[in-house]
Amino acid sequence: MSKPSDDSGNPASPAESDVRWALGHAPSHLRLWIVAVCGVVADLWTKDLAFEKLAPGQSKVLVENLCSLQVSLNPGALFGLGAGFAPVFVGASVLALMFVLYLFANSTVKHRSMHIALGLVLAGAIGNLYDRATQEAYVAHFPGKGRVIGVLHEQTKDGLTMGDFPDGANPRLWRGQVDSATSGVQPVVRDFVKIEAKIGSISLWPWVFNVADALLVIGVAVLLINFWWDRKRYHRSKGASGQPA
């Protein structure tokens, strides 16, 4: 059997030829999938619990002046950005899932923290994708007044009668002219965590979010650290061998 070669046609070093890829390594798969499954379960369970225990507008303090729970429906993407583009977000989530699997397949068994980070990203993407595929609410835009999200009971010339998500309880009349072009039934994501910390009158984190959002942010942060560390290690090894980086 001939000795493996690198991309330039030169014989590969023993270290390069003995690389073990994560795709065929059971412990690497366990790290990825256990983190992903636990993350999805935690996200969906906490969403169900929050919307079962809390009424719209109700707030439950977890840590005084730091964090509270309050339910909110998000027709947009991460932290409420880009409302009204749900099909784009679904496509982006699918691409993110494919990219996660691509990164895992091209990692080695030594990339343990990367596998955990990919599991976190996978859990966050699946958790919010599940909501967009299964949760719908009526989003009513009142020009100059904001929006109301809930279950539509009736629309009249005076406005809309809407109830609380998801069962339509406590119907209320919202008076005003609705923008028919941007209003309608839309996929939504369930959020329930609110950061209350402020500097003076400025909120440090104004968005309501969920466990999936937190997992995505943490996972991406760990991935970036991994990429930075791998690049630093690559340049260091090239410098030690006398080769140009």
Can you tell me the distance from the alpha carbon of 196 to that of 238, in angstroms, rounded to the nearest whole number?
Answer: 48
Alpha helix positions (H), the chain? 14-17, 26-53, 86-105, 112-134, 211-241
Q: Which two tokens stand for residue 89?
A: 């977000």
Tell whether 141 and 112 lie within a shared domain.
no
Does 147 lie in the same domain as 60?
Answer: no
Mean pLDDT over 168-185 rounds to 90
Residue 143 inside a domain? The answer is yes
Element (H, E) at 137: strand 136-142
Domain that holds residue 214: 25-135+188-233
Tell me: do 140 and 217 sit in the same domain: no
- Asked if residue 145 and residue 69 are part of one domain, the reply reads no
Is the pLDDT score of 1 beyond 70?
Answer: no
Residue 128 C-alpha from the chain's centroid: 6
Q: Taking a C-beta distance cutoff of 8 angstroms, is the pair 148, 160 a contact? A: yes
* 5 occurs within a structural domain: no
- Is the CB of residue 140 less than 8 Å from the CB of residue 153? no
204 and 181 together in one domain: no
* 140 and 87 together in one domain: no
Do 169 and 122 lie in a common domain? no
What's the first-to-final CA gap in the chain, in angstroms?
A: 31
Of 9-18, 145-154, 158-167, give the lowest mean pLDDT range.
9-18
Per-residue confidence (pLDDT) for residue 78, from 0 to 100: 52
Distance, CA of 117 to chain centre: 13
Note the pTM of the prediction, 2 decimals: 0.81
**Domain match, 193 and 147 both:** no
Do 124 and 204 fall into the same domain?
yes
Question: CA angle, 119 as apex, 116 and 121 as ends, to 5°?
Answer: 115
Judge if 71 and 164 occupy the same domain. Answer: no
Residue 1 resides in a domain? no
Count of domains forming the chain: 2
| Residue 9 domain flag | no
Q: Judge whether 102 and 121 are in contact, CB under 8 Å.
A: no
pLDDT in tens, 186-230: 899 999 999 998 888 888 888 899 999 999 999 999 999 998 888
Q: Look at residue 239 and tell me if it is in a domain.
A: no
